[in-house]
Amino acid sequence: MKNYNKLLLLSLLVYVLLAAATMVGFREQQDKKGQLYKVEVNRIMAGLGDRKTQDMESIDLSACQEIRSVAYLPASETDKDTILDFFSGINGKQSMVCPLYTTVLPAQEQLEGYLRFDYQRAAPVGHYLFLTEGALLVMELFLLAVLFYLKYHLIQPFHRMQDMTYELSKGNLQGDVKADKNQYFGKFLWGLSELKDALRVSRKRELELQREKKLLLLSLSHDIKTPLNMIKLYAKALEDGIYPTAGEREKAYHQIGEKAVQIENFVGEIIRASKQDIVRIEVEQGVFYLKDLVQWMEAVYGEKCALRKCAFTVGDYQNRIFQGDLNRLMEVFENLFENAFKYGDGCRIQVSFYEEDYCQLIRVFNTGEPVSEKEFVHLFDSFFRGENTKGQQGNGLGLYICREIMLKMNGEIFAVCEPDGMAFVVVLPI
């Protein structure tokens, strides 16, 4: 753009120089033309030589450009009218009078008369100069108009495109492209704006996918802790001899084996997730009975609560069939029970069932200190950990994952603060 501005200044400078040169040229031409008749007069006078005055009419004026006629007045003329008529041609006309002498004796000349040379009046220089300077001015204005048009309709939009492509190459997707009605680059600029928006959306989506992938990996890592803790708990119980009968020990061995398989499945999911470009929390839409979920709760967490000496009660329910992913639903309740163990007082965990607005509600309550109102609104946010989590392992993803799973199953989950503890309600559509 700086070079283009220099071009504008150069055009103005050239115009000024041409205008000055034209004015000087006209002046020189006028001066030259004004002196040409004198040259012709001197040539005619020199060509006369010793010619007699009666030969004046035979003077050849064909070679003269300025002289149009020659008149002769004898010195002996006494008629006033003739004399006045002769010299009157000088006033208001382009004429020149020269005395004519003849040699009488050596070194002595005698006035014979006068010659009047009438020459063409030169055209006024001001008229032609004005026309020429006007033409130069019109040409300069036209040139400037063209240059300014090119600047604002071609050069500036081109620089905008250049800057925009440079910013895009650096990954700068911020800011909007101003609308441009330029007939040459308007559509192109609009296309760049659309491309910029598309790249911005793509970048945002890419970041979201990376975040989802990270969350899934953290979720799977979090889910591994539950069966791992169960294995540690059963191993400790076997080591301390809590199971006196062979049947109880066999059952503990079976649970350890199941939890090991569960951990293996989680590890497989982590490996698959690390190889995928797009990773999300997925659910399989199948069918299951509420009885299957309740029996799993009683088998796994009834025993776990007994080992922790925590009261565990399951209320009455009406067995129904639901659509959804039973395994994912088990993950939800695993998180709820594990949170009850971590953040509750370990005295009581209660599961109750009730129906409302064509939905099955499952309430998991644990005694303990409820969270504050400030923290309550963030319970289901990713990576959120309350003040009561100090000293407890975790990444703040458990409740977030629960909510994501329930949303995938067209359900819901919410929390309720109660005077003596916390309750989480899982909503399943009937």
Quote the pTM value.
0.43
Q: How many Cβ atoms sit within 10 Å of the Cβ of residue 184?
A: 12
Beta-strand relationship, 348-356 and 311-314: parallel
**Sequence ranges of the domains in the chain:** 2-125, 209-429
pLDDT in tens, 376-411: 888 888 766 666 555 455 556 778 888 989 999 999
Report the C-alpha gap between 396 and 386 in whole angstroms: 9
Q: Edge to edge, what strands does the sheet with 108-119 contain?
A: 67-74, 108-119, 95-105
Maximum mean pLDDT: which of 11-25, 28-42, 236-250: 236-250
**Separation between Cα atoms, residue 102 and residue 408, nearest integer Å:** 133
The model's pLDDT over 182-200, given as tens digits with 9 standing for 90+, comes to 555 556 666 666 777 777 7
Residue that wins the pLDDT comparison between 306 and 140: 306
Q: In the CATH scheme, what is the code of domain 209-429?
A: 3.30.565.10
State the pLDDT at residue 173.
Answer: 54
The answer to whether residues 326 and 295 touch, using CB atoms and an 8 Å cutoff, is no
117 closest CA partner among 194, 56, 191, 170: 56
pLDDT in tens, 264-295: 777 766 665 565 544 457 788 899 999 999 99
Average pLDDT over residues 168-187: 57
Q: What is the mean pLDDT of residues 77-104?
A: 75
The dihedrals phi and psi of 184, each to the nearest 5 degrees, come to -95, -45
Contacting residues for 7 by C-beta, under 8 A, at least 6 apart = 147
Q: What is the mean pLDDT of the chain?
A: 77
**Alpha carbons 371 and 386: distance in angstroms, whole number:** 8
| Residues 6+ positions from 39 with CB-CB distance below 8 Å | none
